[in-house]
Amino acid sequence: MGQIVGIDLGTTNSVVGVIEAGRPIVIANSEGSRTTPSIVGFTKDKEIVIGDQARRQLVLNPKNTFYNLKRFIGSDWDELDDTSISVPYNVKANESGSVRVLSTNTEREYAPEELVSSLIRKLINDAETYLGETVDSAVITVPAYFNESQRQATKDSAILAGIKVDRILNEPTAAALAYGFEKSSSNNVLVFDLGGGTFDVSLLKISNGVFDVKATCGDTQLGGNNFDSKIVDWLAEKFLNKHNIDLRRDRQALQRLTEAAEKAKCELSGLQKTKISLPFITTSKEGPLHIEETLDRKIFESLSQELLDRLLEPVQIALDDSGWNAEDIDEVVLVGGSTRIPMVQQLVKTLVPNDPCQSVNPDEVVAIGAAIQSGIISGDLQDLLLNDVTPLSLGLETIGGLMKVLIPRNTPIPVRQSDVFSTSEANQSSVVVQVRQGERPLASENKSLGKFRLSGIPPAPRGIPQVQVAFDIDANGLLEVSATDRTTGRKQAVTISGGSNLNEQEINSIIEEAKAKANEDRKKRSVIDRKNSALTLIAQAERRLRDASLEFGPYGAERQQRAVELAIQDVEEYIDDDDPQELEISVSALQEALFGLNRKFAAEKKTDNNPLQGIKNTFGSLKDELFSDDYWDDDDPWDNQMNRNYRNSRYGNSRDDNDPWDNDYFL
């Protein structure tokens, strides 16, 4: 069985953690950073880039670089606000009203789940590299106020990435797990989670390893990006008034404005004012135009007042639902990078009289909590118990378009609730069960999660048949609904996934496409690796020739040096050739020539105890690099024979079973 990891799938950045030696840790990515930008893009060559690589092309390739995907996942087009769709790339609604992202480079459209799955796959690959073993399942965090559709869509993304989801965990709950880990005292905790794209607040009672969630509330369309947008609008309006040009209509200018706004927001957390300088932001008849503005904290706070007001209501609702007063809160835990904004911290202090806890890293605490939950599931951590709640009320639509609530919000999960319904017309042979989620009394004003029909009801007067409808919510917060006719025993059940942007057929199709592309990408990677290894070999051989000239002079190792020079010419001839087998042969010949030259060095060393300083034997590192198993691709037919010939040679078998490029490992 492979490892279980915890993933904080963030709007701005994502983090992966794991339990190691009984303690949760954050795993650095392949670039050496502990956080990975939640950005996916496509280059002009149609190659996918993720994280920091994608971030670097944001300005120059805005149409094909996608961020804020978390706001789109599992959402219908009409559920998004203007800030969410004000992005430099193209988004649209498909025929069913789901969100689709368009890429001009690949000339196709993507469901947000498809792109997010690529991000999850990178996080898993980084974790496998660190752990040295396969990761086959994960605990993934979501905002506490995510509805059933968004949770199911997150699970779909993991399935597309080839990962099993052991638990969907609410982000504030994960933060509380990290805060309360190894704490034995009893505390009432308020978790204030303001991330890049979403806002959550949860109230928990933590006592001796038991984490009991009392209430949760939030806003999935409110986050740090909204604060950035206020600065973008301020800059764009000033520029519009001055030059009569709206920069928000220019994709590259909009992306530059967004990056400058985020930087200014961060700087204002420590400074009273900051300069925003954007040279050559656009051009006009008069020539290039620039932005030079000074933004102080007072102006920023005045721009953001409406957003602060939106933060107040969820906190008050959560307090009311829990039955607690502000004085009952023992500790406030701030989560998410946007909680570093001074006016946000001041707002929290006005709501709860205690100073916020500063002992947790707001960028990593959710991933740490997810890792702790993965340790609970795997059995690595004992004596910890988590009791979560459902964030929104669940019910069904009844006659007259009203919402009948079966499971109220903030009900502890897992839970099962049922009720008995009847027909509204005489001799009615079937009923339609329309499942809704939300807090409005009218069914049409709440989120539709799906519907199904129960047929075969015996003819009877209105109100006589009895249909029992049951709602089951599992520990992930995912819902299953069943309806049973008590007279005939006929039953119909459905797992709610209708709100996801992808149906089962689309998911299977994407998985097959991903496998096909994985084969293609693997072959491309193999070719690139061979070429890079050959170039490295040439560089090291030329360096070795220079060392030989210093050591032996022009004639001391003439035969060996000439052999290396000729072998280098052969490799250079075939390095850009379409025949990889010729490249393999020439590389092998250069290796043999280098061995001969290195043997000459070794022989000279025995007779001269004071060799010229500065000459180093590079053979060891050269052999490690050139004979690494990345050099071979068992799936290439031309490569199999060369592979077998080489591995039966005097240099032995260098296969590395942990190398993902050396095994049939597909995304």
Active site residues: 8, 70, 171, 193
* C-alpha radius of gyration, the chain, whole number: 30
Beta bridge partner(s), residue 284: 287
Pair 72, 102: CB distance under 8 Å: no
The CB density around residue 519, as the number of other CB atoms within 10 Å, is 12
Task: With CA atoms as reference, report the closest residue to 202 among 344, 345, 333, 318.
Answer: 318
Tokens of 570: 């052969």
Are β-strands 135-142 and 3-8 bridged in parallel, bridged antiparallel, or unpaired?
Answer: parallel
Cis peptide before 414 (omega within 30 of 0): yes
Which helix (DSSP H) or strand (DSSP E) does residue 288 occupy? Answer: strand 287-296
Residues 6+ apart with CB under 8 A from 129: 30
For helices 305-322 and 342-351, the axis angle rounded to 10 degrees is: 30
Task: Give the pair of three-digit tokens for residue 650.
Answer: 């005097």
Who contacts 540 (Cβ-Cβ below 8 Å, separation ≥6)?
594, 618, 622
Give the SS3 label for residue 390.
coil
C-beta atoms surrounding 52 within 10 Å: 16
Q: 164-170 and 273-284 as β-strands: parallel, antiparallel, unpaired?
A: unpaired
* Separation of alpha carbons 377 and 382, rounded Å: 9
Q: Residue 573 in 3-state DSSP?
A: helix
Q: Could you give the CA distance from residue 497 to residue 520 in angstroms, rounded to a whole number? A: 32
Structure letter (DSSP) for residue 442: B
**Rounded Cα–Cα distance for residues 351 and 353 (Å):** 7
- List CB contacts of 246: < 8 A, sequence separation 6 or more: 236, 240
Candidates 625, 636, 642, 638; CA nearest to 661 is 636
Asked whether the beta carbons of 106 and 118 are under 8 A apart, the reply is no
The tokens describing 603, both together, are 């022989």
Which residues are paired to 413 by β-bridges? 388
- What letter does residue 426 receive in the DSSP assignment? T
Beta bridge partners of 277: 292
Output the CA torsion sign for 574, 576, 577, 579.
positive
Q: Strand locations in 456-560, DSSP E? A: 467-473, 479-485, 491-495
User: What CA–CA distance (Å, rounded) separates 444 from 429?
Assistant: 24
